[in-house]
Amino acid sequence: MDPAYARRYRELYERHWWWRAREALVLGELNRLRPPAGWKRALDVGCGDGLLFDRLDAYATRVEGVEPDQALVSPERAAEGSIHVRPFDATFRPGGSYDLVLFLDVLEHMEDAGGAVAHAATLLEPGGVALVTVPAFRHLWTTHDDLNRHVTRYTRSELVTLLSQAFAVEKARYFFRWVHPAKVLQRTMEGVRRPEPSLPGIPPAPLNGVMYAMSRVEEAVLGWSRIPVGSSLLAVARKA
C-alpha cells in the first residue's frame, strides 16, 4: 500500500461511507452464516491493524490476522500477538486450523491469488467458510486502483473460477451497484485529464451519510438479486 495511504487508513476505515457500508455488508453475511455456537477460530487475511477484530470477536472464539505490510500494524496490535506480520503463502503454517477465513479486498493485490486461495483451503476445517470481497470489472479501473497497487479487478465468473479450484462457491454477487455508473464516469474523465493518483478524502458529513444510506438501502432492496453490475463483488465459499 502507498505509505501515505497507509497512514490515513484507520481514519478512512472508521469514517468513510465505503468502508462503513462494506463492513455492514460483511457483518450481515456473517450473521447469516454463523453456526449456532459461532466459529472457533477465524483468520482475517490482509487485516491491516485488525480494524475488524472487535466486531469479529462476537462471531469467533479466537480471531487472528495476517498482514504483510508492517507499516499497517500498530505496536499495540503487534504486542497482542494476534496478527502474523508476514506474507500469506504456503510458508504460513500457524498450527491448527480455522473454520472461517476472510479475504476482504485482498485478492486483487496478489500476483498469485490462486495460490492464496488454495493455501486458505488447506488451513480450513471441512465445512469451513471463506468470505471474499474484491473490486469488480477492469473497465472501472481508475487511479484509485493504481494508488492501491491492485493487480486486477474481477468479474463474477472470474472470481467463481478462482474460488472453485479449492471451494464450493455458495454465493457470488455484485454490490455497490449504484457506484458503477459513477465509476464509469470517473474512468472517462480520467481518460481525458490523466490525473496523478491522489489519496481519497472523506466526503462532507451530510454527503458521506447520504452515500452510506444509499448503499444500505440498495443492499436491503437488491441484496438478493443477481443484477450483473456493481463496483464490488462478494462471494461465500465453503470447503467440502
The two most distant CA atoms of the chain are separated, in Å, by 54
Contact 129, 102 (CB under 8 A): no
SS3 51: coil
Per residue in 177-203, pLDDT (tens digit) is 999 999 999 999 998 888 887 888 999
Q: In the chain, what are the domains?
A: 3-238 (3.40.50.150)
Segment holding 170, helix H or strand E: strand 168-175
d(CA 176, CA 180): 7
Contact 239, 121 (CB under 8 A): yes
The 8-class DSSP code of residue 136 comes to: B
Average pLDDT over residues 78-92: 93
d(CA 176, CA 149): 21
User: Is residue 154's pLDDT more than 80?
Assistant: yes
Per residue in 108-143, pLDDT (tens digit) is 999 999 999 999 999 999 999 999 999 999 999 999
Segment holding 45, helix H or strand E: strand 39-45
Going by C-alpha positions, the residue among 233, 129, 226, 128 that lies closest to residue 179 is 233
d(CA 72, CA 9): 8
Q: Give the distance, in angstroms, between the CA of residue 197 and the centroid of all CA atoms in the same chain.
A: 21
Rounded to the nearest integer, the mean pLDDT of the chain is 94
- In sequence order, the β-bridge partners of residue 39 are 60
User: Is residue 1's pLDDT more than 80?
Assistant: no
Amino acid 42: pLDDT: 98
Which residues are CB-contacts of 9 (< 8 A; sequence separation ≥ 6)?
1, 48, 49, 72
Contact 156, 172 (CB under 8 A): yes
Q: Report which of residues 5 and 224 the model is more confident about.
A: 224
d(CA 169, CA 165): 10
The 8-class DSSP code of residue 174 comes to: E
- In sequence order, the β-bridge partners of residue 135 are 232
